[in-house]
Chains A and B, each alone.
Chain A
Amino acid sequence: MSNKKHIKMTVNGEEQEFLAEPRELLIHTLRERLNITGPHIGCETSHCGACTVTLNGKSVKSCTVFVAQADGADITTIEGLGNPDSLHVLQESFKEHHGLQCGFCTPGMITRASKLLEENPNPTEEDVRFGMAGNICRCTGYQNIVKSILAAASEMNAAKEAAE
């Protein structure tokens, strides 16, 4: 289309540059332009959180951000949290505690949880439920998601203590 804009952004540590219509939604930029398909499209009205990414240090629903708004932004998706040789503690913890079933909400869920634990390393169960309330899961009933996040918090804290 006509009014394409030059966009620059850093995604999972890699610089990306391209031309895009400003109206392009960030979730489509990630998924279709950059082939980063971890974040998913669930509701499209900013209710479900399946598209959650970390944008300039905030948990954001990328279905409700125009690519033009993210020009210059630093973005982390599930793909940037861990890799097959070294998973993020949360990735391990979700596996360990059966914190997922169909897997569709999982990338957004873990990405959001990583930010939650960054801001609150010692959450109570209530903190986790409240802090994760922007992410909908249809399969698990949340019980094991909450368990996974609390367990990850303990593990991260133990690792921190051991390092000190």
Chain B
Amino acid sequence: MNKELTREERADALGGMGCKRKRVEDARFTQGKGNYVDDIKLPGMLQGDFVRSPYAHAKIVSIDASAALALDGVVAVLTAEDLAPLGLHWMPTLAGDKQMVLADGKVLFQGQEVAFVVAKDRYIAADAVELVEVEYEELPVLTDPFAAMESDVVLREDLLGEGGSLPDGAHGPRKHHNHIFTWEVGEKDATEQVLQEADVVAEEMVYYHRTHPCPLETCGCVASMDKVNGKLTLHGTFQAPHAIRTVVSLISGIEEHNIRVISPDIGGGFGNKVGAYPGYVCSVVASIVTGVPVKWVEDRMENLMTTAFARDYWMKGKISATKEGKITGLWCHTTADHGGFDACADPTKFPAGFMNICTGSYDIPTAYLAVDGVYTNKAPGGVSYRCSFRVTEAAYFIERMIEILAIELNMDAAELRRINFIKKEQFPYQSALGWEYDSGDYHTAWDKALKAVDYDGLRAEQAQRVEDYKAGKTRKLMGIGLTHFTEIVGAGPVKNCDILGLGMFDSCEIRIHPTGSAIARLGTISQGQGHATTFAQILATEIGLPADSITIEEGDTDTAPYGLGTYGSRSTPVAGAATAMAGRKIRAKAQMIAAYLLEVHDDDVEFDVDRFVVKGAPEKFKTMKEIAFAAYNQAIPGIEPGLEAVSYYDPPNMTYPFGAYVCVMDIDVDTGVTEIRRFYALDDCGTRINPMIIEGQVHGGLTEALAVALGQEIAYDDMGNVKTGTLMDFFLPTAWEVPNYETDHTVTPSPHHPIGAKGVGESPHVGGVPCFSNAVNDAFRAFGLRHTHMPHDHWRIWKTANGLGLHG
């Protein structure tokens, strides 16, 4: 006989929320048995490849594909002319603009898709690409958004009205033919007045350079049109498979029930795989035309040059305070470089995403934000690279402005933050730019962080270092990077968040099997976050069956309930909530079954870890396993057989994770080389589902932040040529360049989330970037530096030092 387990032992046996459950995904990944898109091989499959523009702005004079078509093994060469009759030479973007699928008379950025070659294999396709002759006529190139707003050169003739007039864009009036939108939030006049009357105003242009999410797996798909049954199957690297299905249906005219979108294993996304790309459309068309499956997988250069850049925000800021350091107002005007098409991935009503979270962790009574989107001759995108929509930009902006204000006030930046934090008792807090922060305890987190790193000790050491430097004893400066960030994630409430009209709810459907195991399907898709592990933990706690007995399945639109996918740290806040809610529906029905089996009233039983017990008589119980079997084998009056539930969760609010980070950095003034001596990261993501996975997410997000802050960029020359097209120049750090991180946490649950969880995947990136950057800036504060732009690679740091006269 089994010994009676204690309550704790029973809970442990479930592997539910809060435990460091090992990942169920890892068995296949460690054995090389993952199934990524390029692993998919269908009978008769052809390979697609693009002819791309070498120019950033040019007219297409002619395209001659005859030599390519003559090559043995080439099946087709598609151009805009071929797509036009189907209306597919342009496609809608997520931002309300439209984008060329294949160059329609002109190209707007280097690497733009001009023709799509379809051949028997990728070698023949690559040879054929070389044989397509395209004649271009170069046009003047605009790579600077400020110059673009002044220029006579029209990038988007297709958006001009009659007689060159400027009809409204998707987000209202346009000021200039290269202007996309103006988005304004907050009180302009009141803010300007506050600034005017303030004791102190700090002003700075903060540029967040263009970069790229660069997941290790590039984007790709396999389109397979089954002409016999009229069904299209599309495998691909999609962070939002259902949305892709709807988009494909809308633009292709194929009815949605005849489209099956499958996201297989995804080799990292970080926002790169949210959008819809010309390669997907061309593959679908090519499969429809040829009647066989067509695969397209971009190479790394194509990935960096064309699919989904991130950032490129010029943020002009003013922040005002009393002389004691109490912030009175914040003003921001952002010039956003969107490239040739506005393909930003943001909820429809937010053309600059949630940039209006830029008041950060601070109680700022008056604020104003305006964002102008601008077209240039660069690749389209503007995705949220490991962050919720434009939240990284916002966090970087406010965390730089705070540091600059501290300089202006001659105050310690940690103290300035402390006196301006939103207080615990102010939550739920209405921000001046329109958000309702759900919960937070910033002072506790901040004090814990500063104590952990011995902040006062660090400052003393830094002061000594400055003395030593001045005395010629060292050539290394020490920077202390501080950041207290507040994110806004979990988009979002359907009342104000949609993408292409699709509300940003998410979903979970659960089926309990008779033997007490289960499958749950969600509208999200893991790209490494470990959903199959953590969502099973949520369910284990909610329904009392072991996590090991619960299969989590995502990414197949034929089986999963509709959902908006995984990005913007929305999986736990939205789909995680749906999972808990669906679990509770299961539990409610289980309660009735248990009561029937125990011959008591429904209200006389209560849930206890893995069973329902009769209140006051815990020896009388039915385990969830027994209840599951009964659901399929007993005729229970008034209760349908089976045990299944589905929940579509429309979150009442966003969640607001936060954190306190400290970075200690040594900088070689002469070479510009930086060394991270210490990095402490305290995250508060509310209820913690799996501490092991949270820690892994923090390590990864910080490393991506390190890369962005210290060197990673998509750089263009004046001709619009991409200068950083391979991993030689696009900085992805190796194990050698990355430090060990110290992680810590506080727990402030979200009051509106069923399990109190807030999401964590993006926090370390959002908080990490300003923290690394602040460390660099801080190192030079004693020598008069106010602000220097990222990326802080060797030569730029050297230039900063040089500009401060530190090279003698």
Q: Residues of A at under 8 Å CB distance from B?
A: 1, 21, 23-24, 28, 31-32, 35-45, 47-48, 50, 77-79, 82-84, 87, 91, 94-96, 98, 100-107, 110, 128-130, 132-146
A45 touches B300 (CB 8 A): yes
Contacts known (A137-B216, A138-B215); A106 close to B30, Cβ less than 8 A? yes
The chain B residue with its CB closest to the CB of A23 is B123
CB distance from A156 to the nearest CB of B (A): 16
Given contacts A98-B23, A100-B26, contact A44 B300 (CB under 8 A): yes
Known contacts A23-B123, A104-B216: does B32 contact A78 (CB below 8 Å)?
yes
Given contacts A91-B31, A98-B693, A104-B268, is CB(A142)–CB(B738) below 8 Å? Answer: yes
Q: Which of B158-166, B581-589, B600-608, B724-732 lines the interface with chain A?
A: B724-732
The B603-656 residues at the A interface (CB cut-off 8 A) are none
Q: Is the interface of A mostly helix, strand, loop or mixed?
A: loop
CA of A40 to CA of B27, assembled, Å: 17
| Distance A59 CA – B29 CA, assembled complex (angstroms) | 20
B140, CB-defined interface residue at 8 Å: no
| Complex contact A43–B741 (CB within 8 A) | no
Residues of chain A within 8 A of B366, CB atoms compared: none
In chain B, positions 1-58 with a C-beta closer than 8 Å to chain A are 22-23, 25-34, 36, 38-39, 41
- 26 of the cross-chain contacts (CB-CB < 8 Å) are A1-B123, A24-B123, A37-B36, A40-B38, A43-B300, A44-B300, A45-B727, A48-B727, A82-B31, A91-B30, A91-B31, A100-B29, A101-B529, A102-B29, A103-B28, A103-B265, A103-B528, A104-B268, A106-B30, A107-B29, A130-B735, A138-B704, A140-B700, A143-B699, A143-B738, A144-B696
A residues near B215, Cβ cutoff 8 Å: 102, 104, 138
Q: With A38-B31, A47-B728, A102-B216 in contact, is A138–B736 under 8 Å at CB?
A: no
A89 CB, nearest partner CB in chain B, Å: 11
Contact B702 A141 (CB under 8 A): yes
- The CA of A95 and the CA of B31, in the complex, are separated in Å by 11
Q: Are B267 and A102 in contact (CB under 8 A)?
A: yes
- Chain B, interface size category, equals 35 or more
In the bound complex, residues from chain A placing their C-beta under 8 Å from that of B416 are: none
Identify which of A31, A37, A83, A133 contacts B735 (C-beta below 8 A). A133
Interchain CB contact under 8 A, A138 and B216: yes
- B700 near A139 with CB under 8 A, answer yes
B483 within 8 Å of A (CB atoms): no
- On whether the beta carbons of B734 and A94 are closer than 8 Å, the reply is no
Considering only CB atoms, which chain A residue lies closest to B39 in the complex?
A37
CB-based contact B735/A42 at 8 Å: no
Chain A residues contacting B734 (CB-CB under 8 Å) are: 132-136, 142
Using known A-B contacts A87-B30, A103-B25, A104-B217, determine if residue A40 contacts B267 with beta carbons closer than 8 Å: yes
Q: Which residues of B contact A21 (CB under 8 A)?
A: 123
Contact across chains for B34 and A103 when beta carbons are under 8 A apart:
yes
Q: Which chain B residues (675-702) contact chain A, with CB distance < 8 Å?
A: 692-693, 695-697, 699-702
Q: Which residues of A contact B735 (CB under 8 A)?
A: 128-130, 132-133, 135, 137, 142, 145-146
Interface contact A130-B736, CB-CB below 8 Å: yes
Q: Which residues of B contact A133 (CB under 8 A)?
A: 734-736
Q: Are A141 and B692 in contact (CB under 8 A)?
A: no
Partner of B36, one of A94, A104, A132: A104
Query: Taking A104-B217, A133-B735 as contacts, is the C-beta distance between A94 and B26 under 8 angstroms?
Result: yes
